Structure 1
Amino acid sequence: MEHKQYRVKFQDDGGKVIFREFDTMEQAQDLYNSLDEKAEIQKFNEDLGHYEIVVYPTFEY
């Protein structure tokens, strides 16, 4: 399975966790900013085969 370089993890109004994948940090940052920074940006680490957090939420969600 191929992964995009970045993804944003956030919760919808019902509390469901959603992941949205992006090709660039700028795209991920745009969504992060639109969510009032109540999300986290993750980057895929190819060596380890999983995503790691690169930008934490500024507020608990």
Structure 2
Amino acid sequence: MWPQAGTGDGFTYDSVNPHARIDFLLPSRDLRPLTAQVFTADPEASDHLPLVSDLLLPVRHRR
């Protein structure tokens, strides 16, 4: 998903000196990734950085 929608290098580990992308979002085929980004956070909160994505869920109309 990161190549299609990601911003930046996507490194999520570790929170003090991010150097590896080890956290992933794996949407189903029905969802289309629009954006994905890693946010900075308090290093004492976790040893990983938060990863956030906007996904498009198509609307299916019943007949």
TM-score by length of 1: 0.27
Q: Which has the higher strand share?
A: 1
Whichever structure has more helix as a proportion of its residues is: 1
Larger gyration radius, structure 1 or structure 2:
2
TM-score, normalised to structure 2, is 0.26
